[in-house]
Structure 1
Amino acid sequence: MTVPTRTRHTTRRSRRFELRATALYFALLAVILALVGAAARTAAAAAVHRPSWAVALALVGVGAAMAGFRGKRRISAARIARRAAEALDEATHTAVEALDAQPPAPAVGLVPAGAGAGGGSLGTDPTVLLPETVPEAPADTVEIAYEALDPDEFEQAVAELCRRDGCLDVDVVGGAGDLGADVVARTPDGRLVVIQCKRYCDGNRVGSQDLQRFGGTCFTVHGADVAIVVTTSDFTAPALDYAEQCGIVCVDGPQLQRWQEDAGPRPWEAQPSVA
């Protein structure tokens, strides 16, 4: 009697199913690694400020690992991801609560109102805060060596003195065809000032011919209310005589230095001659 043999039917998973499972495994693994990295960064940041947070996060991680491997059963990737997410969420809430519980930072640059100089009091309310006054350092006076400047720089320096002393509409117009006017400006009281700049060395004095050329244009052409000649050197006697006759203000080297130091009247405030 022949015993019929039983045919075994083996079930084989389709290749499509294995590829899907592998892809799902790697996707979940990437999520887990991202969560682990975020948890590690959170733990590192917490350990710097609050060491107790680091201990709490470490205990949460150890508990999750022990729960996953308990019983040596097959670990579910979805379960691991869920537990990791819960641990991260708990750590985040702990960090937020701790930050909210921190005291506010003290005000910087404020002093009590009653702490004035000499023990004086500015009020009776001790909660009033006033801004702390920081004394300003005195500005240094820069002395300019006008003799070392070139003619253009000398004109700019004279124009800057006019601006410093309150003149308006200050303009440097020196150059070819300027007809003797190097700097024009308006005094604070509205008068038109026309200045000719002569950057000469000590041995070269401004002569009467220079004054005559300037005197022929400063009033008739430029319409000056105040005509001024500024030099780094000096004027000859005939030049001073002509300036006195025409009403031109002459400013020599020492007077220019006093003007810069603000130690005397402005040129448009002086009498129209320099003896």
Structure 2
Amino acid sequence: MATRRGRRRALRRRAWPTGAALLFILALNWDTVWPYVVGVTLVALLGGTAWWLRTTHRTTVAGHRAWQAEEENKARERSMSEVDAMTWQRFERYVAELCRRDGCTQVIVSGKSGDLGADVIGLMPDGRRLVVQCKHYAPHRTVSSGDMQKFLGTAKAEHGADVAIFVTTATFTRAAQALATKHDILALHRNLLGAWVRGSTLQSLIPLNGAGSGGPPRGRRARSQAFRR
């Protein structure tokens, strides 16, 4: 440490005379060098200003995007609070209403046990057969791969689904999500359901094939009104 400090002091002592000499030479030749000095100074100022503007712009854009995402999450949760308060029967009817809103026809709600995973059945606007499995769970819960396997085994084999959708007020486990993506089942977890509720069309969600954007915001407690069917 002592050696390093000594070196720094020695460099400072040498720097002062050198700097003074440069300033003296600059003063003697000011009439010749002043355009260059002014030019270098202006370039440095312009470069510093450009860097500051770019950094400020990036920070502002990032902050706006974060704010926008947070507002969208809040709006989604405000919409989902009404869905959470529904009974599982009302939830199935509501999903059927969303299908009709997006142009589906001949939409039927089974409303009974033993439906073999077909809670809602109908036709897409282009005539393809639609089969929907609904799970009204508390937000903190997850749909297992076992539930997804059961739906996979019945949606096409038993009901001849061209479009198979598993929709839940909760989230899917990674295994369930992977299974849905592999077999072209649209896994509408809580966030995607929130987007559907807020106006995204079913046709715009179907190409996702289960590849959504995550679960509910962290730190949310399960709402007491949400029950497993």
- Kindly state the Cα deviation for residue 267 of structure 1 after the two structures are TM-superposed: 6.3
Unaligned ranges ≥5, structure 1: 1-141
Q: CA-to-partner distance for each residue in 1:171-229, whole Å, 9 max, x for gaps?
A: 00142210011001111100111000010102211110000010010001100001000
Specify the SS of the correspondent of 1:212: helix
Task: Classify 1:157/1:169 alpha carbon distance in 2 versus 1 (closer, same or farther; 3 Å).
Answer: same
- Alpha-carbon distance between aligned partners in 2 of 1:267 and 1:172, rounded to the nearest angstrom: 23
Q: Which has the higher contact order (CA 8 A, sep 6+)?
A: 2
| Structure-2-length-normalised TM-score | 0.55
RMSD, aligned α-carbons = 1.8
The alpha-carbon deviation at position 143 of structure 1 amounts to 4.3
The equivalent position to 2:194 in structure 1, one of 257, 262, 267, is: 257
Alpha-carbon contact 2:186-2:208 (below 8 Å) kept: yes
Query: Secondary structure of the residue that 1:266 maps to in structure 2?
Result: helix
Contact 1:194 1:227 in 2 (8 A): yes
Q: Distance in 2 between matches of 1:273 and 1:231?
A: 12
1:269 to partner: Cα distance: 3.3
Higher helix fraction (1 or 2)? 2
Please, which runs of 5 or more residues in structure 2 have no aligned partner? 1-77, 213-229
Aligned CA distance change for structure 1 residues 220 and 267 (closer, same or farther; 3 Å): farther
Runs of 4+ in 1 over 2 A off after TM superposition: 263-271
Please say if residues 249 and 267 of structure 1, whose CA atoms lie closer than 8 Å, have aligned partners that are also in contact.
Answer: no
Of 150, 153, 158, the match for 1:221: 158
Partner SS state of residue 216, structure 1:
helix
Task: Give the share of equivalent positions with the same residue, in percent.
Answer: 42
3-state SS, counterpart of residue 243 of structure 1? helix
Code of the aligned partner of 2:169: T
Q: Which residue of 2 aligns with 1:231?
A: 168
Q: Does 1:189 align with 2:126?
A: yes
SS at match of 1:270: helix
Deviation at 1:271, TM superposition (A): 3.0
**Aligned match of 1:266:** 203
Q: How many residues align?
A: 134
Moved more, 189-198 or 250-259: 250-259
Does structure 1 conserve the Cα–Cα contact (< 8 Å) formed by 2:137 and 2:170? yes
**Cα 1:162/1:265, change in 2 over 3 Å:** closer
CA contact (8 A) 2:180 2:187 kept: yes
Secondary structure at 1:179 match in 2: coil
